[in-house]
Structure 1
C-alpha cells in the first residue's frame, strides 16, 4: 500500500502506474544524501503542478535460519521504522522548500531497481542521485541503479549531482546530432529553459575525416562542417519557432569526442540535457558512449530523454 506519509508495500505490481500517474518520482535512500535530490525534484514537481512521489526500496536478505531464530522480524521492523522516519524527514524538506506541494511517500520491500522501474510507470519524470560507485582518484562514478533507470525507464530521467554552495549554474545546454533521440532532448530542454527563464544552448560536435589523401580530406572536411552547421542551425530555427520567447544560441565545435564537447559547454550550466537511443541489455550499450561518459563526469544535474521507441507523452513545464 502507499501512503501520504510513509506507506509500506510488498513490492507487487499492483497499481504502481496509477500512483505515479503524471508525478515526479524520486528514488531516495538515506535522508542526508537524498536531500539535494529531493529539493531539485520538488522544484520540478511544483513547476509542472504535479505530485512528488518519494520511493524508498529495501530488500531484506534474511534467510531461513534468521527467520527460525526469530530475530529477522524484529530487525525488519527496526529497519522499516528507520526508513519511514527518513521518508518523513524528506517529505517535510520538500514541503518546506515548496509550500503546498502534494508529497507522497512509499516504502517498498523489493530490489531498488525493480521498485523504481514499477514506480516510473506513468510518471512524467524520474529523479535519482548519482549513487556511490567510487572511481580512481576519488572520482564519483554513477551507480548501477542510476544507469539502469536511465537505460530502461520510458520517461525522462534526471541524475542530480549537487553543485558546491553558491554555484547553482545558469542556462540549459542540450546536445544534438539530428537524430530522433536528440529531437526529444531538444523539446525537453527548450520547455525547461522557457519554464525557468534560462537561456538555451544547442551544442553540435563534428569530427574531421581521419583518412584519405589531403585534397579528399579537405573536401570531406568542408562537407562535414557544412552539414553540421546546417543541422545545428535547423535545430535553433525549429526550437525558436516552437518557443519564440526563448533566447537560443548555438555552439558548433570540432571535437572527436561529442561527450567532451557537451561537458565543456555544460560545465557551468544549470541543466545538461541529452538523448538516449538505448534498448539493449547492458547499460553501456543502452546509453551509448556519449550518454555514458556525460552521466559519469557531469558536474551538475543531467536529464536523459529517451527517443520515441521508449518515450511516451509527458506533461511539460509551463
Structure 2
C-alpha cells in the first residue's frame, strides 16, 4: 500500500499524480488521505459542520479521480482528523511509502519545503517522497539519482533507488560529492597532492559502490558521478543536469529513546531540490 497526503490543492499538486504512477508501477493500491486539522477547528466561532461538508466533498472528488484511472487497482480516498503530519505518519506506518507535496513558500525558483512535509520526513518510519507542485512524471525521463556517502547507511537508499529504476526502466546514477579538507600549508604542490588524493579516493568509493550493486543487479545501467564541493549543492546540481526523475537521499534516525533527526544533507536537498526527493531513513542504535 502506498499512502499520499492530499489537501485542497490536490489538482495542482504533483504528489497525487506521482503517487498514482508509483502505485501503478508497483501494482500496489493507493490510499489518498485528507487530514482535517482538529487543532485549528478548536478556535472560537469555527464552523465544524461546514468544514466537514467541504472535506467530504473534497474526498469524494478525489475518489472519483482515482476511480477514473486505468490501473484497476483498489485505490481509495479517506478523510481523517488530527494533526496533519502526525496523522499521516501514523496512517502510513508499515506501508511501502508515504508521498507528500512540498507546499513551501518563497520568492526564489527553489521553494522551501512546507512545515507539514518537513515534519513528516522527520518522524515517518517509512520512506517519504516529497514532490514539488505541478510536477508531471511524464515530462521527465532522466535517471534515478541516489546520493552516496562514506558509510554503509547508504544501503537502504540505494535499494529504494534500485527498485525505482527497475520499475521505470531508467539508469541508476550514483552521485558522490566530496569536499577538500583543510590543508594547513601554503605549498601549492602539497595542496595539489591533497586534491588529487581526495579525487582518487572519491572515485574509488563511487566505483566500489557501483561494482557492488552491479553484481547484485547485472541488468541495470549504473552510472557514477563524482564531484567536488558542498554535498547539498553537488547533489542538487547533479540531479538537475540529468533531469532526474527522482532523487534519493538517506535520512538519519536515532534510537527510540532519543530524538529523531534529519541529516543536514537530506534537509538541504529537501529544501532546494527541484525534482521529487525520497528520504529513506537508516536505523541507528545510538
TM-score by length of 2: 0.87
Ranges of 4+ aligned residues in structure 1 off by more than 6 Å:
none
Match of 2:201 in 1: 227
Paired with 1:64 and 1:207, the residues of 2 have a C-alpha distance of 50
Aligned to 1:289: 264
Over 3 Å counting, the alpha-carbon distance change for 1:218 and 1:188 in structure 2 is same
| Total equivalences in the alignment | 276
2:24, 2:71 within 8 Å by CA — same for their partners in 1? no
Bigger drift between 44-53 and 229-238 goes to 44-53
Whether 1:152 aligns to 2:123 is yes
Aligned match of 2:219: 245
Q: How far did residue 221 of structure 1 move?
A: 2.8
Q: What is the rounded CA distance, in whole Å, between the counterparts of 1:91 and 1:222 in structure 2? A: 57
SS in structure 2 of the partner of residue 128 of structure 1: strand
2:111 corresponds to 1:140: yes
Output the aligned Cα RMSD. 2.4
Per the TM alignment, residue 57 of structure 1 is displaced from its structure 2 partner at its CA by 0.9
Q: Any idea what SS the aligned residue of 1:97 has? A: coil
Cα deviation, 1:205-255, whole Å, max 9, x if unaligned, reads 112232222354344333322221111001111121121111111111111
Residue 179 of structure 1: aligned partner: 151
Q: Aligned-pair distance for 1:271?
A: 0.9
Provide the C-alpha distance between the structure 2 equivalents of 1:35 and 1:137, rounded to a whole number of angstroms: 18
Would the aligned equivalents of 1:173 and 1:201 in 2 still touch at CA under 8 Å? Answer: yes
Partner of 2:238: 265
1:39 corresponds to 2:10: no
CA distance in 1, matches of 2:137, 2:145: 21
Alpha-carbon distance, 1:86 to partner: 1.4
Q: 2:139 matched to 1:167?
A: yes
Q: CA deviation at 1:115?
A: 0.6
Give the Cα–Cα distance (whole angstroms) in 1 for the partners of residues 43 and 159 of structure 2: 52
Q: TM-score normalized by structure 1? A: 0.79
Q: What is the CA–CA distance in structure 1 between the aligned matches of 2:54 and 2:276, rounded to whole Å? A: 28
Structure 2 stretches of 5 or more lacking a match?
Answer: none
> Cα gap change, 1:208/1:90 in structure 2, threshold over 3 Å: closer, same or farther?
same
Q: For residues 4-43 of structure 1, what are the structure 2 equivalents within 5 Å?
A: 23-33=1-11, 36-43=14-21
Partner of 1:83: 55
**Residue 217 of structure 1: which of 191, 198, 213 is its match?**
191
Q: Report the Cα offset of residue 62 of structure 1.
A: 4.5
Check whether the contact 1:42–1:98 (CA below 8 A) recurs between aligned residues.
Answer: no
Q: Does 1:201 align with 2:173?
A: yes
State the Cα distance separating 1:29 from its structure 2 match: 0.6
Change (3 A) 1:49 1:63: closer
Match of 2:277 in 1: 302
| d(CA) in 1 for partners of 2:63, 2:35 | 16
Match of 1:97 among 69, 88, 110: 69
Whole-Å separation in 1 of the counterparts to 2:157 and 2:283: 11
